[in-house]
Structure 1
Amino acid sequence: MTEHTLSEAEYDAITNAAAHWCMRLHAVDCTDAERQAFKQWHDADPLHAFEYEAMLEIWAVADHLPRVESAPAVPARRPRLRWSRLAVAAAVFVVGMPLAAYTGWNLGWIANSYQRFEAGTNVRHVTLGDGSEVELNLGSELVFANYKNERRVTLKKGEAFFDVSHDKQHPFVVRAGQGQVRVTGTRFNVWMYQDQVRVTLLEGSVRVTSNQALTRNGLSLSPGMQASYKAGDHQPQVRETPPNDSSLAWRNGKLVLDNLALSDALPLINRYLDRPVMLADNSTGGLRIGGVYNISEVQNLVPSLPKVLPVYLTQNKDGNPVLNSIGQRPTTH
């Protein structure tokens, strides 16, 4: 588990590196070796990816700046870069200077603080820089960044329950999968597995979007409602929270499977596993399972499934366990 609030020097170093890579990756002479080095830097820390995304936004904004006609000559065989972009990128590269940092903050391009939180084998309670309270489920990870115009959380993986500090002037945005949840102050839960996301609202109101590029297509939730989406969905699917809903049982250390089809139960189970369990076919996915399990012991559930269901376990070529219904067992001679 880690909790890290960046010092000014650390923040400057990441910002400068992000600006450097933004310029190099847009340069015509960027090499494959540089691209590989960038990927290693980008993937080494969620904050690197977060800051690089901000640099891309600045780069895009720079495209709307007026042309500078006195751009220096470049070799005729290379495409001419927009000098306005290069000038802005160069300014960003020295964003560690007080004036540049202040300008970036005022324009809403650059956050003035970052926090990263992870939960390992225990549920974890954390306080974000704006005073919002968050509970992280096992194996969950998020990054918080405070911008001038909004507070932004990226849920990298797992599940989190949010009790958001009310601030109407600074919306609280949670990015999860390809969509996002936008609020000003409320209590809600966000569950994510692979490209699937489910939002459960307890208090207040939220607006859920299934695609961050289509923010106007979001749907508003009121307390007692859930929204679900996956990659490619144009809009979230919204329903009332079932009376027997157990999606928040993890806060008490429990996973509740209430007579669910295996196809619906496995995403809830696999969230806690290093190697997800696969289904051999649709008929196996139709088998139903129930029970209450400790979230810290879900890994012990998989070997026991043949004892409670008409299934047997095999393994695919990638090493993942596969559930097969007894009726599909191949005959032997």
Structure 2
Amino acid sequence: MNYFTKYSTIRHHAAYWITRLHSENCTDAEKEAFQKWLADSQDHATEFQYLTEIWELGAGAPQTMLPTIPVARKNNILLNRRTALACLGTSVLMLSPLGQKVQATQLLQTKTGDISTFTLGGKICCRMDTDTKLAFIPDSQCCRLEKGQVILSASAAASTLWVIAAHTSVYLQLHASTNIRIDPDCVHVTALQDKILVRSEHLPASGAWLQPGQRLRFFADGHLHSDYPEIDTLLSWQEGRLIFRNRPLWEVITEINRYIPQKIKLDAPLLINRPLSGVYYIARGNAFLQMLVRLLPIRLVNNTNGITLLPA
């Protein structure tokens, strides 16, 4: 086993254990298996704590994704994991140079309305949507999506990547690419090129492999939904436009609001579910709103906080 294969495998297992230990249905047998794995090698302990630091860069999962889990229970989960670490190998874990790694954390962020492209560690292409934040440790194989939407492509030689988004982790192999998005009530993961491995507390312990074009959505209430979306529509934001096909008006407005500093308020109860199709060009937002006035019985009211859509 070569160097990259060895440490990719260890990191793969470490990320799996982080996901399982944060799961509400983690069993005693799994905890025992984790303890055995952790004690098997100093490399295991080092990588586990390394990924733990990344996991906690954003202070754990966003609370909006965990409406049924009180803050106190989240602290208990973290405490249980820390207690297990302390009991199993405090002296080993303290030897790892994690402080230096955490200090080297690179925080990438886009402003509202901006779309940018970065290269992670010289190997991973990262396309970031509006109002997106991603924490990355240079020369590592792991990052954490804190909010927004990204397209990640592992195209360079010997490149693999673990991506943590809320309580979901995604593993990219060489040549694979994925689109990951965090909404207040959902995490969306789509395989774009080659298959990707997804792990979550809501999946079996072995995780799930997504085939190219397949999307898996993790909702805050615990249910999952798998489908094959239209990729051109899903990724149209890269070209500075949003394509809507028979989407309810409230959903269209919610999506547009992600790209503009002054928000649109929809105050037309009878029209919120009216299906709408069209193309919104991010750089020409007003043109789209004027089109809405012609298509629907609504009027625009400008105010200091943005625009309100009212019945005509």
Give the TM-score category using the shorter length: 0.5 to 0.7
Which digits, 9 at most, give the CA deviation of each residue in 1:93-114, with x for residues without a partner?
xx7xxxx344x59xxxx65842
Q: 1:196 aligns with which of 183, 186, 199?
A: 186
Q: 1:274 aligns with which of 250, 261, 270?
A: 261
Provide the residue aligned with 1:135 in structure 2: 127
Matches within 5 A, 1:70-219: 100-102=95-97, 104=98, 113-120=104-111, 121-129=113-121, 131-145=123-137, 151-165=141-155, 172-185=161-174, 186-209=176-199, 211=200, 216=205, 218-219=207-208
What is the aligned length?
242
- TM-score, structure 1 as length reference: 0.57
Compute the displacement of 1:280 (Å): 4.1
Distance change in 2, residues 1:52/1:178 (3 Å) = closer
- 1:212 & 1:257 partners in 2: Cα distance? 32
Q: Which structure has the larger Rg?
A: 1
Provide the residue aligned with 1:232 in structure 2: 221
The answer as to whether partners of 2:154 and 2:160 remain within 8 angstroms in 1 is: no
- TM-score, structure 2 as length reference: 0.60
Distance change in 2, residues 1:284/1:66 (3 Å) = closer
Provide the residue aligned with 1:264 in structure 2: 251
Structure with the bigger RCO (C-alpha within 8 Å, sep 6+) is: 2
The answer as to whether partners of 1:278 and 1:323 remain within 8 angstroms in 2 is: yes
Distance change in 2, residues 1:271/1:179 (3 Å) = farther
Question: Is 2:277 the counterpart of 1:296?
Answer: no
Matches within 5 A, 1:28-39: none
- 1:113 & 1:194 partners in 2: Cα distance? 29
Which digits, 9 at most, give the CA deviation of each residue in 1:29-60, with x for residues without a partner?
xxxxxxxxxxxxxxxxxx8961866xx89864
Which digits, 9 at most, give the CA deviation of each residue in 1:222-276, with x for residues without a partner?
0121222332224x3111223x741111222221122322133233212213354
Provide the residue aligned with 1:50 in structure 2: 57
Question: Is 2:274 the counterpart of 1:287?
Answer: yes
- 2:126 & 2:115 partners in 1: Cα distance? 11
The answer as to whether partners of 1:284 and 1:323 remain within 8 angstroms in 2 is: no
3-state secondary structure, aligned to 2:234: coil
- 2:202 & 2:247 partners in 1: Cα distance? 34
Compute the displacement of 1:147 (Å): 8.9
Q: Which one has a larger percent helix, Structure 1 or Structure 2? A: 2
**Root mean square deviation of aligned Cα:** 4.3
The answer as to whether partners of 2:263 and 2:305 remain within 8 angstroms in 1 is: no
- 1:226 & 1:65 partners in 2: Cα distance? 35
Q: Which runs of 5+ in 1 are unaligned?
A: 1-46, 68-83, 327-333
